[in-house]
Structure 1
Amino acid sequence: MALIDARGIPADQTSVDRLAAEGLDYRVVDTEDSARLTAFQRAMARGFLGGDPTEAVLAEGAPTVRSRRGIGVYERGADSGALPVATIDSWVTPLTIPGGEIDMWAISGVTVAGTHRRRGIARSLLEGELRAAADSGVAVAGLTVSEATIYGRYGFGAAVPVSHFTVDVRRAGWAGPVPPGRVEYVERERLAEELSAVHERARTTRAGQVPGWAARWAGLGGLASNESDRDKVRGVRYLDAEGEVRGVLSFALSERGDSFRFSLHVRLLVGETPEAVAALWRFAVQHDLVDEVTADLRPVDDPLPWLVTDPRGVVQVVHDHGWLRILDLPTALMARRYSAPIDTILRVEDALGFTAGTWRLRVDEAGAATVEAGEEGSEPDITFDVSALSALYVGGVRAAALHGASRIDASPASVVALDRAFAAFPAPSLDIWY
């Protein structure tokens, strides 16, 4: 089924009216107008504390911005070249969930100028996106965030945790296999293509993943003009015993002081098979002259700690990354598959009203769900707000943890049943920013 083109969705009228009362103009940006496009790009760069983009950076970024629905907030009467005081952009993309995929309203580029804080602009941006998504029939919204304290108030839950690894390679050693096949270098001009192709095949095997896009792969491959370390980027690929490319690694090396010893930073390691992942980790951990390997956005069940001789040489820090927000509860819950049967009554609290109510969730032995509105007056087995349900959605967060944090009100037996049903295998992950 074709994805909805978010660019055709009009600006949310509630946000238009709310900001008009503040003397601000909230509107969809005409990115075919070069002056407005450039102003929008410059405002996003400023909002993320980046330098003013060069002509080359603007030109490289234009196709991505034009492919999305950009919203700008402007001072009333601003001319076409004026920078918006706030930005946000969005598009509809597949999200891998247990058992398949669901359309997700992806949100990015959220900025508010330092001169316009505390005027309700961020609220209008986020709520406007959620209303636009819901009105378009998209059941789930998602984003990756620079600040983790903002988005829960809009119903988002930190649904996809990831790992950051720091490896002392001299201590860690290597105890893993020597996979069949071979690892070979890839020139940067080819690296972006290889990353894109392997990632697209691999992402459907792990919940939480979304597709990348051309500019994302160019950046990870060291081809983007705004990449300060682009000349340090290197790439290798793993070919299996039949000569098929099954994994790709983009990395950069930096010298540690003046000792001619180096750190290797993994920019992206993507593999279709366990052999590919192990082969690429082996390349990184056993690289000549390297004392330390770092990598972020890795799955929480990554095999790395089990591939080395001394697992204490691997420091694993788990942190939030992918945030999700359910907008259409029956559609979202019936789209995924479950790991155990359950028959329960949920009461969901949602300040924005999208999912609020009492619902009966039934999952059969095959893992298929049906969801119906609960009968009036029925007592819930489980009560939580939509951010907690959204955190559970793809199976990367344990219901027991949320219950222990008083985010779920339920009996211990109901929590166990919920945990067993929602758990996903392998662990959900998300290896890019969007």
Structure 2
Amino acid sequence: MTAPEETIISVDPDSQRRLRERGLDYRIADMAVDADAEGFLRADSRGFLDEDPTDAELAQARETMRARRNIGVYDPAAGTWPIATVNSWVTPLTLPGGEVDMWAISSVTVAGTHRRRGIARDLLEGELRAAARAGAPVAGLTASEATIYGRYGFGPAVPVMRFTLDTARAGWAGGEASAGRLVYADKQTLADDLERLHEASRSHRSGQIAGWRGRWQRMAGLAAGDKEAAAVRGVRFIDADGAVQGAMAYTLAELPGGFRSEMRIRSIITASDEALRAIWRFVVQHDLVTTARVDLRPLDDPLPWLVADQRAVTAEVHDHGWLRVLDIEAALGARTYSAPLDIVLRVEDPLGFAAGDWRIRIDESGRCRIAATSASPDVTLGVVELSTIYAGGVSASQLAAAGRVHGDGDALSALSRAFLTAPAVLLGIWY
């Protein structure tokens, strides 16, 4: 499914009716219409507590939004800007053994003047119904607040790591430099490298999605309105054959009292272990830097094993990529699995998309067959929990220990073995 196709899917009629009954207009915001585009983008910035965008920022954001299905909720008594926003597009989601079309949801805002009126529920449920109509087996989002999206069936499926590194203490223990070389890159080259490397490497880890040009421009300090743009620097790793295998965007912020700085890493993307080691060595051994910070790293990132003192590395795991299974047969059939399985799964879904009793058979090759069944369930779980384990980054046994998945112990262990994947899941961008 290509971007133009989902942009013409009509608004959800159920949400439209409910919002109309409250005197609100729920409609597509057309990025080809100046008033629609400006109102949507200014409302979006307001919703995320950003400063009002400049004309240059509006023009740049508008280019990104043209490829999306942008919806506003308008209150005739509140002016011409929407009082709530959401947008969506279809993107490939990497899974073990392949990928699936995912309905990506972003720009979810409700004005502070219109909170607690059920508007967010109409937006989110409307998006799920639109995704199901479009044939997307899965929906996904990244969340600024972690307590909102479970009520719509989303689960925190892609955990990531946030590192804080005490470089003065760490010491390099990752061996000698490779045959390749690390060089500085100008901002345009950096944006190009990040874009190409992400696309080349995103199929290597479950949980990744395709990026877009505006994302890499922002990482490289080319986005209009970026207050840190002048401080953005970039390096690229070139291997012995002359191929660029890694890139990093970062800034340096001077710390008070001592001519030392903190490195704030915006993005690291590598296509080889050699490139990742070279970039981490650059970080650990950078002159006049005492601290480095980076987010959105995989849980199996080798950084703690590349330094002499692992206590110099503070690692914080947090939720990042949220998924929502809509079509259970298409979703589970789109990936491969790590072990054979033959169980009956009962899925409870208050919104009805994935609810039912399902016989899941996974053969020795890791391929899955799934069908509705009347047999008694071996394991019972909610759609939130199914969505959480779907990409292979969270164990069903861990959720069972938390009282969120129920069933026979052997069946739970088998379910965990089948769904877990290596390398660790990752979502390296926000959307």
TM-score (norm 1): 0.97
8 A Cα contact 1:337 1:369, kept in partner: yes
Mapped partners of 1:30, 1:222: distance in 2: 28
Question: Per the alignment, in what secondary structure is the counterpart of residue 263 of structure 1?
Answer: strand
1:78–1:27: structure 2 CA closer, same or farther, 3 Å change rule? farther
Question: Mapping of 1:18-417 within 5 angstroms?
Answer: 18-76=18-76, 82-177=80-175, 178-375=177-374, 378-417=375-414
- Runs of 4+ deviating beyond 6 Å: none
Which digits, 9 at most, give the CA deviation of each residue in 1:399-418, with x for residues without a partner? 11100111100122111101
8 A Cα contact 2:87 2:108, kept in partner: yes
The amino acid that maps onto 2:53 is: P
Q: CA deviation at 1:189?
A: 2.0
The amino acid that maps onto 1:195 is: L
TM-score (norm 2): 0.98
Task: List runs of 5+ in structure 1 lacking aligned partners.
Answer: none
8 A Cα contact 2:92 2:100, kept in partner: yes
Which digits, 9 at most, give the CA deviation of each residue in 1:104-129, with x for residues without a partner? 00000000000001111000000000
2:6 pairs with 1:6: yes
Which digits, 9 at most, give the CA deviation of each residue in 1:138-169, with x for residues without a partner? 00000000000000000000000000000111
Q: Give the root-mean-square deviation of aligned CA atoms.
A: 1.1
Question: Per the alignment, in what secondary structure is the counterpart of residue 284 of structure 1?
Answer: helix
Q: CA deviation at 1:2?
A: 5.1
Which residue matches 1:15?
15
Mapped partners of 1:240, 1:218: distance in 2: 24
Q: CA deviation at 1:171?
A: 1.4
Question: Per the alignment, in what secondary structure is the counterpart of residue 268 of structure 1?
Answer: strand
8 A Cα contact 1:166 1:316, kept in partner: yes
Q: CA deviation at 1:332?
A: 0.3
8 A Cα contact 1:4 1:92, kept in partner: no
Which shows bigger deviation, 170-179 or 61-70?
Answer: 170-179
8 A Cα contact 1:3 1:103, kept in partner: no
Question: Per the alignment, in what secondary structure is the counterpart of residue 297 of structure 1?
Answer: strand
Q: CA deviation at 1:258?
A: 3.2
Which digits, 9 at most, give the CA deviation of each residue in 1:258-316, with x for residues without a partner? 31101111110010011111111111111111101110000001000011111111010
8 A Cα contact 2:3 2:67, kept in partner: no
Mapped partners of 2:169, 2:31: distance in 1: 52
Taking only the aligned residue pairs, the percentage that are identical comes to 54
Q: CA deviation at 1:4?
A: 7.0
Question: Per the alignment, in what secondary structure is the counterpart of residue 237 of structure 1?
Answer: strand
The amino acid that maps onto 1:11 is: V
8 A Cα contact 1:396 1:424, kept in partner: yes
Mapped partners of 2:257, 2:417: distance in 1: 52
Task: List runs of 5+ in structure 2 lacking aligned partners.
Answer: none
> How many residue pairs align between the two structures?
430
1:2–1:67: structure 2 CA closer, same or farther, 3 Å change rule? closer
